[in-house]
A and B are shown apart, each in its own frame.
Chain A
Amino acid sequence: GNSVTQMEGPVTLSEEAFLTINCTYTATGYPSLFWYVQYPGEGLQLLLKATKADDKGSNKGFEATYRKETTSFHLEKGSVQVSDSAVYFCALILASGGYQKVTFGTGTKLQVIP
């Protein structure tokens, strides 16, 4: 079956530090890949996406590149802010025959300290 593996959290960084959250996947077929962010007390929000190999998704200073050869979609940000503190979920969606299957990773909690 399909699966998404994220690095364990929590990740604690100082403000302006560089962020990497690792995500690898296994899937049959050609999935689209996503990062979602969940702020405390809220639902998930789509952060960025990439629908094919070598695509780079970017939003709000975050980036992730779809690497088919390493089956990875690592999330990066050059300089984190306290407001980036949240839980980040990597996900894949496989669409086939008019149906879609969604698989989420377990989430990585990021805490940014001033």
Chain B
Amino acid sequence: DSGVTQTPKHLITATGQRVTLRCSPRSGDLSVYWYQQSLDQGLQFLIQYYNGEERAKGNILERFSAQQFPDLHSELNLSSLELGDSALYFCASSAGPVSYEQYFGPGTRLTVT
């Protein structure tokens, strides 16, 4: 158990809909990272937040957004969903803004039908 929690575990929704994925980092960690894992694209870094502020951006679509709240949990919002958004979404956390050790959550499996 990494100490990172993600909810929900599974999500099934229709195209065009909007969903929110939630992540709670390990106790004491200030950075949260979001990743998308799909069969065709592999593991892609989406975005990082550190202590409430956006820190780094990867291959995140404009339809996706994230935020980190004062209690350090983070939410990833996915809107106007397409079939191709079906994937595993992982959250990871680390202590600082630049950290070589990231702890991954169990992931949320999103299926868009």
A residues near B (Cβ < 8 Å) are: 32, 34, 36, 41-46, 49, 51, 89, 93, 95, 98-107
* Cα–Cα distance between A27 and B27 once the two chains are bound (Å): 33
A-B contact pairs, 13 of them (CB 8 A): A41-B106, A43-B2, A43-B92, A43-B106, A43-B107, A46-B102, A46-B103, A49-B100, A49-B101, A93-B100, A100-B48, A102-B45, A107-B43
Q: How far is the CA of A102 from the CA of B47 in the complex (A)?
A: 10
CB nearest to B4 among chain A residues: A43
B83 contacts the other chain (CB 8 A): no
Residues of B that sit less than 8 Å from A by CB: 2, 4, 33, 42-45, 48, 55-56, 58, 90, 92, 97-107
The reply to whether B42 and A43 contact each other, CB–CB distance below 8 Å, is: no
From known contacts A100-B56, A102-B45, A106-B42, infer whether A45 and B100 are also in contact, taking CB-CB under 8 Å. no
A46 touches B98 (CB 8 A): no
